[in-house]
Amino acid sequence: MLSSAGFAKTWQYIQLFKEGLICTLSLSALTVVFGFILALIIALVRLSKVKPFDWLATAYVEVFRATPMLVQLFIVYYVIFANATLPTFKLFGFIRFERFLPGVVALSMNSGAYLSEIIRAGIQSIDVGQTEASRSLGLTGVQTMKNIILPQAIKNILPAIANEFVTIIKESSICYTIGVQEIMYAVNATKGATYRIAEPLIIATLVYFCLTFPTSKIIAFFERRMSRGDKR
């Protein structure tokens, strides 16, 4: 049952939620950056049709899209980083790097699989005539991709990439299972201290909503602006 006393107890641990907010934003921002780089590489490899690399890239995408995020996170943390000796310093004074890094790696690998399909579709949406025209002007395949195809493709998929950021904000909550001090970690810690669960969950819901809802509206606004620009 929700109660004012429960919220009062929970509010005493509001600093945990503030730290969780910083950690969640850090996780999401780094995941988008590294996930995009990985996705771009995978998309280009799949489009290159160079065997067996395109087969490996396809297998990577299918495996990560067909398995639960929690399983991927546990494999990265408990298997891949099992014997790794990571630095034990704390980011911002409270985020444990040895737990934060595996979380970023797992989220980036998962996001890369989904983003690669978005990027691949964006590249394939560009008229093939532009490639032929650039070749006739003497540009190499790399120059064509770098200077003509990719800039247009990225412009077309920017809204999808931004929406992936919103998705990652929500998916980052799973990292509390390996001890990353994000928002759900704050919920769990507050529950252990106050023996209350409803109030911490309500606060976490509000924090996530305040992160994702305005971001979604900003994305929609810029998407409309970009659409108007295309029509002109």
What's the pLDDT score for residue 85?
Answer: 85
What's the pLDDT score for residue 176?
Answer: 92
Most confident range, picked from 48-52, 132-136, 139-143, 170-174: 170-174
What's the pLDDT score for residue 24?
Answer: 94
Comparing CA positions, the residue from 2, 4, 19, 8 lying closest to residue 207 is: 19
Return the residue matching tokens 């529950």: 191
pLDDT in tens, 40-85: 999 999 888 788 888 999 999 999 999 999 999 999 999 999 888 8
Q: Residue 61 is part of a domain; what is its CATH number?
A: 1.10.3720.10
229 pLDDT higher than 70: no
Cα separation, 178 vs 102, in Å, equals 9
Residue 47 burial by Cβ neighbours in a 10 Å radius (0-12, 13-18, 19+): middle
CB atoms within 10 A of CB 197: 15
Range of the domain at 170: 4-231
Task: At 34, list the tokens.
Answer: 């590294």
Most confident range, picked from 92-96, 134-138, 151-155: 92-96
Number of domains in the chain: 1
How high does pLDDT run on average in the chain? Answer: 88
pLDDT in tens, 160-210: 888 888 889 999 999 999 999 999 999 999 999 988 899 999 999 999 999
Average pLDDT on 94-110 reads: 93
Q: Is the pTM of this model over 0.75?
A: yes
How does residue 230 score in pLDDT terms, banded at 50, 70 and 90? low
What's the pLDDT score for residue 227?
Answer: 66
What's the pLDDT score for residue 216?
Answer: 83
How does residue 23 score in pLDDT terms, banded at 50, 70 and 90? very high
Comparing CA positions, the residue from 23, 22, 39, 59 lying closest to residue 164 is: 39
pLDDT in tens, 117-126: 999 888 888 8
What's the pLDDT score for residue 226?
Answer: 67
What's the pLDDT score for residue 141?
Answer: 75
Beta bridge mates, 158: none
Among 85-99, 159-173, 184-198, 216-230, the minimum mean pLDDT is found in: 216-230
Concatenate the DSSP letters of all residues of the chain into one string. ---HHHHHHHHTTHHHHHHHHHHHHHHHHHHHHHHHHHHHHHHHHHHHT-TTHHHHHHHHHHHHHHS-HHHHHHHIIIIITTT------EETTTEEHHHHHHHHHHHHHHHHHHHHHHHHHHHHTS-HHHHHHHHHTT--HHHHIIIIIHHHHHHHHHHHHHHHHHHHHHHGGGGGGGT--SHHHHHHHHHHHHS--HHHHHHHHHHHHHHHHHHHHHHHHHHHHHHHHHH-
